[in-house]
């Protein structure tokens, strides 16, 4: 059952600040900047800490200005770092572009070649089912156990040359639309679909047309000059996992969603699409986190939603504070409680 996305996103009036090639810096607008500095400085002064492992980059943007920034040893503002599953949220943006163009109906069955035979129940899976991770497909999202993980097999095993084909070959495990199952394979099916629609039909997608689309519609308009995507041998962008960018460029993406799909004077993405992303429709049993459509949703009074990646990558939007937080690093999964505490501590430093 969907819950309304609350609170509303910050207003975009004539006084809104937008990043140019060089991003304006400014003072923190709420909370205690001294406390934030005391929290961040020890983490980035060393190679690693027992609580969080390696902290590579941190950027906080409030009111459209950079208000805090840190980099670990060997990392600087020009260093491109991997998104891991934060790329899923960029895939959601790419789908939204095609919906806005009238080229894709999110409530229609997804045109997936492997599901087209008469009587195949997977033909009923809609684009929105895929976005909400409620396709019903069997897929084990495990990052450690090679003997059972579909994710590892897809990214580095037998499915690596055709990640979408591997994911689309999975059988149904649950009735379509009934059970939440977080799946990198689901995102790669969507990524291939984006490539096919851009190229004009099922099976026509290719690396160049997809790369051009992502650059023309997302990366270049937002000024994400460092953004680089990685493709498999079949020409599909591995939209589950592979976007490389600087911390500031990930913050640009977060600001775009915080501003309801607007960038400067242009409405690049429908505000309703942003609201769909940040409206909770499932709860992950393992973490207790809420999930919308390829974005995670925090159960708080701030309206927090975020793109999340393996080893603690996050691009977090906090509407009530007009705040975007980017944290990039290498935090092992067993340290997740410490990372959760870190996020809470950062929000507290902004007055949450």
Which CATH superfamily groups domain 85-226+236-245? DD-peptidase/beta-lactamase superfamily (3.40.710.10)
- What's the average model confidence in pLDDT over 35-48? 97
Report residue 203's pLDDT band, with 50, 70 and 90 as the boundaries. confident
User: Could you read off the pLDDT of 67-104 as tens digits, one per residue?
Assistant: 999 999 999 999 999 999 999 999 999 999 999 999 99
| 1-79+247-352 shares its CATH topology with 85-226+236-245 | yes
Looking at residue 1, its pLDDT comes to: 52
Report residue 3's pLDDT band, with 50, 70 and 90 as the boundaries. low
Looking at residue 151, its pLDDT comes to: 94
Looking at residue 201, its pLDDT comes to: 83
Residue 13, pLDDT > 80, answer no
User: Could you read off the pLDDT of 170-182 as tens digits, one per residue?
Assistant: 999 999 999 999 9
Looking at residue 7, its pLDDT comes to: 80
- Considering the chain, what is the average pLDDT of its residues? 95
The answer to whether 36 and 66 are in contact (CB under 8 A) is no
Residue 120, pLDDT > 70, answer yes
Looking at residue 63, its pLDDT comes to: 96
Partners of residue 58 on adjacent β-strands = 70, 327
Q: Phi and psi at residue 126, in whole multiples of 5°? A: -90, 165
Residue 277, pLDDT > 60, answer yes
Contacts of 49 (CB under 8 A, 6+ apart): 42, 43, 55
**Residue by residue, what is the 3-state secondary structure of the chain?**
CCCCCCCCCCCCCCCCCCCCCCCCECCCCCCCHHHHHHHHHHHHCCCCECCCEEEEEEEEEECCEEEEEEECCCCCCCCCEECCCHHHHHHHHHHHHHHHCCCCCCCCECCCHHHCCCCCHHHHCEHHHHHCCCCCECCCCCCCCCCCCHHHHHHHCCCCCCHHHHHHCCCECCCCCCCCCCCHHHHHHHHHHHHHHHHCCCCCCCHHHHHHHHHHHHHHHHCCCCCEECECCCCCECCCCCEEECHHHHHHHHHHHHCCCEECCEECCCHHHHHHHCCCCEECCCCCCEECCCCEECCCCCCCEEEEEHHHEEEEEEHHHCEEEEEEEECCHHHHHHHHHHHHHHHHHCCC
- What's the average model confidence in pLDDT over 230-252? 98
Looking at residue 204, its pLDDT comes to: 84
**Would you tell me how many other CB atoms lie within 10 Å of the CB of residue 225?**
13
Looking at residue 29, its pLDDT comes to: 96
Cα-based angle 183, 187, 193 (whole degrees, multiple of 5) = 145
Query: What is the assigned CATH class of domain 1-79+247-352?
Result: alpha beta
Looking at residue 57, its pLDDT comes to: 98
- What's the average model confidence in pLDDT over 278-286? 95
Looking at residue 143, its pLDDT comes to: 78
Report residue 146's pLDDT band, with 50, 70 and 90 as the boundaries. low
End-to-end CA distance of the chain: 27
Residue 254, pLDDT > 90, answer yes
Looking at residue 299, its pLDDT comes to: 85
- Please state the domain extents for the chain: 1-79+247-352, 85-226+236-245
Residue 157, pLDDT > 90, answer yes
The answer to whether 62 and 349 are in contact (CB under 8 A) is no
Looking at residue 2, its pLDDT comes to: 65
């Amino acid at each position: 059952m969907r819950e309304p996305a609350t609170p509303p996103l910050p207003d975009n009036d004539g006084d809104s600040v937008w990043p140019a090639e060089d991003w304006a810096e400014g003072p923190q607008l709420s909370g205690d900047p001294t406390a934030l500095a005391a929290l961040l400085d020890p983490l980035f002064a060393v190679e690693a800490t027992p609580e969080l492992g390696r902290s590579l980059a941190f950027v906080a943007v409030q009111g459209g200005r950079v208000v805090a920034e840190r980099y670990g040893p060997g990392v600087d503002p020009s260093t491109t770092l991997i998104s891991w599953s934060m790329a899923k949220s960029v895939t959601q943006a790419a789908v939204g572009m095609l919906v806005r163009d009238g080229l894709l109906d999110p409530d229609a069955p997804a045109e997936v070649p492997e599901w087209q035979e008469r009587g195949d129940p997977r033909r009923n899976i809609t684009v929105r089912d895929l976005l909400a991770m409620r396709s019903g497909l069997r897929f084990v999202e495990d990052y450690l156990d090679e003997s059972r993980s579909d994710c590892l097999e897809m990214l580095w095993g037998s499915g690596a040359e055709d990640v979408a084909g591997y994911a689309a070959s999975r059988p149904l495990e649950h009735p379509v639309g009934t059970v939440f199952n977080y799946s990198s394979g689901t995102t790669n099916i969507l990524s291939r679909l984006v490539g096919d629609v851009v190229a004009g039909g099922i099976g026509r997608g290719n690396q160049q047309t997809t790369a051009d689309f992502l650059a023309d519609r997302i990366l270049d308009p937002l000024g994400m000059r460092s953004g680089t995507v990685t493709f498999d041998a079949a020409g599909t962008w591995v939209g589950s996992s592979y976007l490389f960018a600087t911390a500031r460029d990930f913050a640009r993406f977060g600001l775009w969603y915080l501003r309801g799909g607007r960038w400067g004077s242009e409405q690049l993405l429908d505000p309703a699409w942003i609201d769909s992303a940040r409206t909770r429709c499932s709860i992950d049993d393992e973490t207790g986190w809420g999930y919308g459509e390829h974005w995670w949703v925090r159960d708080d009074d701030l309206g927090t939603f975020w793109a999340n990646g393996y080893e603690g990558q996050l691009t977090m939007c906090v509407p009530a504070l007009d705040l975007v937080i980017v944290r990039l690093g290498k935090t092992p999964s067993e340290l997740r409680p410490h990372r959760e505490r870190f996020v809470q501590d950062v929000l507290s430093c902004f007055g949450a």
